[in-house]
Amino acid sequence: MHSVTVKCEFLGGLDVIFGGVRKSECTVAAQEPPTVKDLMYHITETLLVDKKDFDVFVEDGTIRPGILVLINDTDWELEGEDEYVLQDGDVIAFTSTLHGG
């Protein structure tokens, strides 16, 4: 078993579906070294308040388009997206871009 602990941030109004939680520390464990995808499912299982909001966060098995993901302040598109292998202490920020301007 591999296990890592990372810091998660829910910004841009995304905290609404996590009961107003903006920052949270998550420990993800998996057979293989855990990835952002594992973290995503971990979040939906542990932090999501209403399971009906699953689709607000996840679509087609990945983070829903429209949610910006930053891995240590870097666009996840440059880090392999949901296949990025988490390191202890990483800061993963999820920002909704869908909310009003």
Partner 1 sequence: MQDEKFKVKFGNSRVERPKVLLPLSYGSSSLALLDMVISHLEEQCQNERAVQGYVLVVLHVGEDTARMERLRKKYSRVLERLEVQFVTVDPAVFVRDLAKVAVTDEYAVHRTENSESLNLQELLLQFDSRSSRQDFWQQVVQEVIFRSAVAHDCSVVIFGHSMSRLAEEILALTVKGRGSETAHRLTDGTMDYVGCSLHVIHPLREVLASEIKEYVRFSGLQEMVATEESVKHKSAKNKTVNELVCEYFETVESEYPEVISTVVKIGTKLDSPQGMAQQCILCQEAVYRDPKTWLEQMSESANKQAQSDVPLCYGCLVNVGVGGGAVWPVSRPSREEILAEYILEE
Partner 2 sequence: MPSRTPNLCQRCEANKAVMRRPKNLQKLCKECYFHVFETEIHLTIEKEKLFYPGEKVAIGASGGKDSTVLASILKTLNERYNYGVHLVLLSIDEGIVGYRDDSLATVKRNQQQYEMPLEIVSYKDLYNWTMDEIVSCSGVKSSCTYCGVLRRQALDRGAMKLGINHVVTGHNADDMAETVLMNLLRGDTARLESSTNITTKSTGSPIKRSKPFKYCYQKEIVLYAHYKKLDYFSTECTYAPEAFRGTARVLMKNLESVRPSCILDIIYSGEHFKLKQRKKRPGPKKPVTESQETEIRSDGSVSLRNNGNRCEKCGYLSTNKICKACILLQGLELSRAKLNIAAEAVPKVKEDELQHRLQHLSF
Q: How far apart are CA 96 and CA 94, in angstroms?
A: 7
Q: What's the full length of the chain, in residues? A: 101
Q: How far apart are CA 97 and CA 79, in angstroms?
A: 20
Candidates 13, 25, 34, 82; binder of partner 2 (CB under 8 A) is 13
Cβ atoms 28, 39 nearer than 8 A: yes
Q: Kindly state whether residue 75 participates in binding partner 1, applying the rule CB under 8 A.
A: no
CB of 29 to partner 1, least distance (A): 26
**What mask of x and - would describe binding to partner 1 in positions 41 to 70, judged by CB under 8 A?**
------------------xxxx--x-----
Q: How far apart are CA 42 and CA 62, in angstroms?
A: 13
Positions touching partner 2 (CB under 8 A) are: 11-13, 16, 64-66, 68, 70, 73-75, 77-78, 93, 95-101
